[in-house]
Structures are given as structure tokens and as C-alpha cells.
Amino acid sequence: MMYMAEIDYRLRGRARGVRAGSHPGRASGDGQQFFDLAPFLSKPDASHLDLRHSLNDPLGALWVRRQQQLVTIPVWLIADLSASMDYPGVYSKMDTLADFVVALSQSACRVGDRFGFLGCDESPRLEWRLPPTRQPTAAQRLAARLRQFHPRGSHARGLLRAARLLSSTRALVFLISDFHLPLPVIRELMLTLHRHEVVPVVLWDPAESGRVARGNGPARFTDLETGHERALWLRADLRERLLNAFNERRQRLRETLRSQGRDPLFLEGSFDAAAVNQYFRAVR
């Protein structure tokens, strides 16, 4: 069994749930974090008596501290499996995606959460759907399939229908794509997932911007607006224009996602658990 460095993900706010886990819930329970104060008669437990609040009560009532219930959450990875994700650059995006699947499923299993996967191109692909499970071996098998897979879908607008296949329970959703979609479509996509907490993970390759190319000659590039590939004769001036366009696209994509309350996580290369964990420390 393959093991990857784990992801220390966190859910903003309180989660709904009844199964004991590691995420702050919306009710009191047996957790370690303070939830609220309650009259002693509603929770007659002297071990949780709050002496300071009780002594300051003008009516002489006794108060106890209630702790926050910790619950489990569903964790989904929704992946773009269109042809642009098979870009022949420095790194394999399918390998990066597979490593992400392994690391996230292991992390979910460790804290008692359920991990699910859904892949989409023109439509959600049921052959690439893994219902939420606490069995990391199922995710391992799925990751092995991804490493051998060469996406051929012409676009990824099937992502717009992915939310219908998720439960209504608020989930943590890692949305992994190269985001080579028109910005209005990306805004619409974020709206379809509004009930969930979404982490947009942008997979780009250094070769897509022309940064790793050297000298003059033919090169293949992906149009950042349409996702279509084309061949260009690369020169120094064209390389600079491509890099400027790439940086502009990055800024526009960042602004679009932030306008929907989502900070993007850019991964340019292989899977990096440290970068993912830094993202959660920075935005939470």
C-alpha cells in the first residue's frame, strides 16, 4: 500500500453531524473546546461547574460549562478529467491528481471522515465516482487507475452538474482542475457548490507558460481561455507574451474565485502536501 504525506485540512465554522469526529460541531458534546454556559439544572454535572460565572450571577444560579461536540464530515475530491489535464509538460497532472487522492483519503481515514471522488469532463463520469468511504484501499485502487488514464474529453463543463451528485450535507470539497474554462463558467461552477466549503486547486505545469522552454522552435501550448491546444513557433518575444498572458490569467482567476469567497490553491508541479497545509494555515 502506498502512503503519502498527509493533509491537515480544516473546515471553516461548525459542521453538522452526529458521529463523533475531529471537527467542531454545532451542538454541545464531549469535545475539548468551550461551547457555551448552561444552567446547572439542565446539565447537573458538578465537574463542569463554572465557579466564576456562578458567583457573579445576581440571582445566585449555578452555571456549568458545556464543551463543543466534535463530528465527522464528508470530504470530496471533484476532478477535471478533460483532455487539457493530459497536458504533456514537465509533470503528469494525472500523477499529481493520483497522489492527491492517496494523501487526502489517508488523511480523511485518520480522523474518521469519509472520502469520496467524482471525475468529470463533458459530464460527470460514473465510472470515476467513488462514494464516500472510510476505506483508503478503495482510493488507492482509484489512484492507480488515474495514473494509467489519458483524458480525452473536449471540455470540463460537466463539473457544473457535479453538485447534484453530492449529498445536501455540507462537505469539504477539493475542486481540482487546470481551470482552463471561461471565467463566467467558473463563477457559475462556484455558485453550484455554494452549500459546501470549496478549495479550488489549480493544477498548472511550468511548460504551459513557456517558462521552461529555451531557444527557438515548435512548441505545444494550451489556450488558457478555451483549453484547446495549438502548435506555435516559439521565439523570445512570443515567450514573453505568453508568460505575461499566463500571469494575467492567474490574476483574473484569483480575483474571480475570491469574489465567490474562495481562495485558490495553485500547484505547479508534483503533489506537495506542505503547500496544501500552508494554504489551510494561511486562509483559515
Quote the CA–CA distance of 247 and 255 in Å, as a whole number: 12
More confident residue, 26 or 250: 250
CA gyration radius for the chain? 23
For the chain, how many structural domains are there in total?
2
Domain presence at residue 13: no
Which amino acid would we find at residue 157? Answer: R
% of the chain with per-residue pLDDT over 90? 50
State the pLDDT at residue 30.
55
DSSP 8-state code for residue 268: E
Domain presence at residue 184: yes
DSSP 8-state code for residue 172: E
Q: Are residues 63 and 181 in the same domain?
A: no
Coil, helix or strand at residue 11: coil
* Count of C-beta atoms within a 10 Å radius of residue 113: 26
Domain presence at residue 52: yes
161-172 pLDDT, tens per residue? 999 999 888 899
Looking at every residue in the chain, the average pLDDT score rounds to 82
Question: Which structural domain range is residue 35 located in?
Answer: 20-71
Q: Are residues 58 and 119 in the same domain?
A: no
Q: Are residues 113 and 202 in the same domain?
A: yes
Q: Are residues 197 and 58 in the same domain?
A: no
Q: Are residues 82 and 185 in the same domain?
A: yes
Contacts of 56 by beta carbon, 8 Å cutoff, 6+ apart: none
Q: Are residues 34 and 170 in the same domain?
A: no
Q: Are residues 152 and 183 in the same domain?
A: yes
User: Would you say residue 71 has pLDDT above 90?
Assistant: no
pTM: 0.78
Q: Are residues 34 and 124 in the same domain?
A: no
Quote the CA–CA distance of 35 and 111 in Å, as a whole number: 21
Q: What value does the mean pLDDT take over residues 228-242?
A: 68
Domain presence at residue 7: no
State the pLDDT at residue 237.
73
H/E element, 163: none
Task: Look up residue 154 and give its three cell numbers.
Answer: 473536449
